[in-house]
Amino acid sequence: MTLLNESRTRRRRLGVVAAAAGLLAALLTAGPAAASPDPGDGPTVSEEISQSVQTQVKKALAEGEIPGVDEIVHSDNITHLTNIPKDALPGTNSDLAFQGKYAFSGNYDGFRVFDISNPKAPKTVSQVLCPGGQNDISVSGNLLFLSTDASRSDSSCSSVSQPATEKSSWEGMKIFDISDKANPKYVAAVETACGSHTHTLVPERKNVYIYVSSYSPSATFPDCQPPHDGISIIKVPRKAPEKAAVVGFPVLFPGEGPDGGGNPGSPTNPGVSKTTGCHDITVLPSKDLAAGACMGDGILFSIKDPEHPKVIDQVQDNVNFAFWHSATFNQKANKVVFTDELGGGGAATCNAAIGPNRGADGIYDIVGKGDKRKLVFKSYFKIPRYQADTEVCVAHNGSLIPVKGKDIMVQAWYQGGVSVWDFTDSSKPKEIAYFERGPITTDRVTTAGPWSAYYYNGYIYSNDIAKGFDVLKLSDRRTDPAKKVRVSELNVQTQPDYFD
């Protein structure tokens, strides 16, 4: 078991090794970091590295500067309760959703349903084979939703890959009936422009609205034409999900020319992704607010009318942010945490060469009232432990831990592990707990580690890309009050009002 003060010592020592490695020269340039050509949660990658880097990583392992291969280390206030390895679905594990005693685990090959009534021993209830990366997942009542952002031959679960240049190819949203968790039934599919990389639910009593995020259009893609400067909105009648349909495509980045009004990216802003859509949106229905992480831009918008969202403010960070990936509100809705997916989820960015401000979280205060509210940058947060240059590490999906009067969240960092951190003081965020595994290997750059880490009804659940489903218990006086808070359903991108 590793104490927090010991990890800081390890960070300083490993920095000498990491800085010397220069592994990312082709991917991350000097000055603002250059993102990969099409960043954003790609499938597992594995790249060979030089013999010198292999030697340096093995030396760091031997000297205890980083954990051993697959070795688990964590702070004293975290207990690792269990790990459930992958089973029938061998693909990349992705997002998580929760309902009652069930957890729903997305996977590039489909999804898996766990019974978590005993968090120490989750049981598999069902596994559904339905390939279509990245299978971003959410649930509402008796319905389950899966995003398909990989061009397929058709909308069925038996489809095969097919080029996006072919008009007959399909990408979009799949809908399942999960009234029987042991036997989910596929009931509907809705094709959307440029597919569905992620999606966000805006649930109402009779209908569920879905905000579909997708990006990277091309003049050669019949169903994904530029400018792709907005989001698709799907309306799903709860009692007739087969009638689900796209009801609008609001333009979030209006502007002249073929590229709309978002961030132009390189060469105007070197190393920054050009905005051609959104990667992820988080809504706070109790406040009629949403925050969009949209490649080169972060936006705040009103969802008072869910079919016609209205942008309130738009911000950029052309110095330290390469790819705006996701967003999290605090409970009072006066702060937003945006994440930067530097390197597109395929690079080792948690080292001294990259530093603390790139590939980090950006904390923004929301100031003002109504439609005059503004996003004001306050600080960056990045995990305070350097990772090996064979470990893909990046700021990724997390959720609030519901502690009244405090702003605390848990977050996944791929092979950087799981971090619990406090941003009550927007200018001075600090980590208070962590869990991580050592490198998958010492001879290749490999994508692995937690894709999502969420707090749900007293426990932290982590979906590890390679290792499977982890359950953690957090025991800390700063977060213990959260154990009394219970919700019946949790889709993290649809943030609940925990204290209403």
Q: For 11-66, what is each residue's pLDDT tens digit?
A: 434 433 333 333 333 334 323 333 233 445 655 556 666 777 777 777 777 777 88
Q: Tell me the longest C-alpha to C-alpha distance in the chain.
A: 61
Please compute the mean of the pLDDT values over residues 182-200 and round it to a whole number. Answer: 98
Residue 376, CA distances (Å) to 315, 366, 369, 426 in order: 9, 6, 13, 10
In eight-state DSSP terms, residue 41 is S
Q: What is the pLDDT of residues 470-495, one digit of tens each?
A: 999 999 999 999 999 999 999 999 99
Output the pLDDT for position 462.
Answer: 98
Task: Please compute Rg for the chain using Cα positions.
Answer: 21
Q: What is the pLDDT of residues 321-339, one digit of tens each?
A: 999 999 999 999 999 999 9
pLDDT of residue 143 exceeding 60: yes
Output the pLDDT for position 298.
Answer: 98
Contact 401, 479 (CB under 8 A): yes
Output the pLDDT for position 98.
Answer: 98
**Structure-derived torsion over alpha carbons of residues 335, 431, 442, 31, reported in degrees to the nearest 10:** 50
Query: Average pLDDT over the chain, rounded to whole?
Result: 90
State the amino acid at position 151 in one-letter form.
S
Which of 319, 316, 312 is CA-nearest to residue 295?
A: 316
- The answer for 468, left when phi > 0, alpha when psi is -120 to 50, beta otherwise, is left
Output the pLDDT for position 12.
Answer: 32
Output the pLDDT for position 42.
Answer: 58
Roughly how many angstroms between the first and final C-alpha of the chain, as a whole number? Answer: 38
Percent of the chain with pLDDT over 90: 81
Half-sphere exposure (CA, 13 Å, Cβ side) for 232? 26
Please compute the mean of the pLDDT values over residues 204-208 and round it to a whole number. Answer: 96
Name the residue with tokens 């050509």: 37
pLDDT of residue 121 exceeding 90: yes
Residue 1, CA distances (Å) to 70, 73, 117, 265, 479 in order: 14, 5, 27, 43, 20
Output the pLDDT for position 26.
Answer: 32
Q: What is the pLDDT of residues 442-462, one digit of tens each?
A: 888 889 999 999 999 999 999
Going by C-beta distance under 8 Å and a sequence separation of 6 or more, which residues neighbour residue 358?
Answer: 32, 33, 320, 321, 322, 340, 342, 349
User: What distance in Å separates the CA atoms of residue 95 and residue 202, rounded to the nearest whole number?
Assistant: 18
More confident residue, 63 or 391: 391
Name the residue with tokens 């705040």: 300
Name the residue with tokens 């030396």: 59
Q: If DSSP states are collapsed to H, E and C, what string results for 378-423?
A: EEEECCCCCCCCCECECCCEEEEECCCCCCEEEEEEEECCEEEEEC
Please compute the mean of the pLDDT values over residues 379-404 and round it to a whole number. Answer: 95
Please compute the mean of the pLDDT values over residues 219-231 and round it to a whole number. Answer: 95
**Structure-derived torsion over alpha carbons of residues 304, 310, 315, 321, reported in degrees to the nearest 10:** 80
Q: Which two tokens stand for residue 212?
A: 């579909």
Percent of the chain with pLDDT over 70: 89
Output the pLDDT for position 64.
Answer: 72
* Strands 280-284 and 408-412, sheet pairing: unpaired
Q: If DSSP states are collapsed to H, E and C, what string results for 415-459?
A: ECCEEEEECCCCCCCEEEEEEEECCCCCCEEECCCEEEEEEECCE
